[in-house]
């Protein structure tokens, strides 16, 4: 059997743990202590923390609260448990959705999402990118040297698509870079069928049930574009 070096020099054994969301137990700290005791009983040596903690970390715009996270990391480390610390972009605070509606994802039917759920932010939104960079930077500055931290858990379950005006314009720019001319795009998409030939870049919209969904090239390139969107947003989150 092949043997491989440990993934991290701080932990010489198999990494064993789970996601942990302790912020919900702030008013009942005994539960956190019991959780940690059960982690030890289960021989856990690492936990992912902070995945959906943005509203707790920044309860109001520009007002940050790291005290609870300080306590959690210290307690876990004292118990012999390390941490993958998450960037919290998978779920945003309600104040952000209310103040900056451009961060809300728009569906294929062109209906904007309401606040709620998770994994439903617009990856094109300059506001969302600015806010994620800010919170990620503060987390890195505060915890990069904390002895409990092994590494970073970047966001959560990247995916999905947004059909807002910002994303439409980014999609058109992506198509221009890919095809250079509308003639090349029309040829690649075989858009003369059903008289679907495009004569201006602004005519191109992402697939929509009340619009165009029958051009295979459009559908394929929309998926390619969204792969590029996710990759670009992930790179944006990775601090150097």
The DSSP code sequence of 133-192 is: HHHHHHHHHHHTT-TTEEEEE-SSS------SHHHHHHHHHHHHHHHSSHHHHHHHHTTT
Angle, CA 228 vertex, CA 224 and CA 229 arms, to 5°: 115
Element (H, E) at 237: helix 216-237
Computed over every residue of the chain, the mean pLDDT equals: 94
Calpha distance 89→228 (Å, rounded): 18
Can you give the pLDDT at residue 240? 59
Mean pLDDT of 85-102: 96
pTM recorded for the entire structure: 0.91
pLDDT above 80: residue 168: yes
In Å, how far are 61, 90, 166, 199, 218 from 86, measured between CA atoms?
A: 20, 10, 27, 45, 35
Listed in sequence order, the DSSP H helices in 2-125 are 29-41, 54-57, 67-78, 94-99
CATH 3.20.20.80 maps onto the chain at 17-161
> Which of 36-45, 156-165, 170-179 shows the lowest per-residue confidence on average (mean pLDDT)?
156-165
CATH class of this structure's domain 17-161: alpha beta
- Say whether 20 sits in a helix, a strand or coil: strand
pLDDT, tens digit (0-9, with 9 covering 90-100), for 115-156: 998 888 999 999 999 999 999 999 999 999 999 999 999 998
């Amino acid at each position: 059997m092949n043997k491989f070096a440990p993934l991290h020099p701080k932990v010489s054994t198999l990494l064993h743990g789970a996601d942990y969301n302790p912020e919900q137990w702030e008013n009942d700290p005994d539960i956190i202590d019991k959780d940690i005791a059960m982690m030890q009983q289960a021989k856990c040596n690492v936990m992912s923390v902070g995945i959906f903690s943005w509203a707790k970390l920044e309860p109001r715009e520009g007002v940050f609260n790291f005290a609870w996270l300080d306590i959690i990391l210290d307690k876990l480390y004292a118990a012999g448990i390390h941490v993958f610390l998450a960037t919290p972009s998978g779920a945003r605070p309600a104040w952000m959705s209310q103040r900056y509606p451009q961060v809300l994802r728009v569906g294929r039917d062109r209906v904007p999402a309401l606040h709620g759920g998770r994994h439903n932010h617009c990856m094109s939104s300059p506001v969302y990118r600015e806010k994620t960079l800010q919170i990620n930077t503060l987390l890195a500055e505060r915890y990069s040297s904390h002895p409990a931290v092994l590494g970073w858990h970047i966001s959560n379950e990247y995916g999905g698509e947004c059909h807002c005006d910002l994303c439409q314009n980014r999609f058109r720019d992506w198509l221009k870079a890919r095809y250079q001319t509308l003639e090349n795009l029309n040829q690649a998409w075989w858009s003369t069928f059903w008289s679907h030939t495009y004569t201006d870049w602004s005519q191109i919209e992402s697939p929509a049930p009340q619009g165009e969904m029958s051009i295979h090239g459009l559908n394929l390139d929309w998926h390619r574009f969204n792969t590029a969107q996710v990759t670009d947003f992930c790179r944006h989150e990775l601090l150097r």
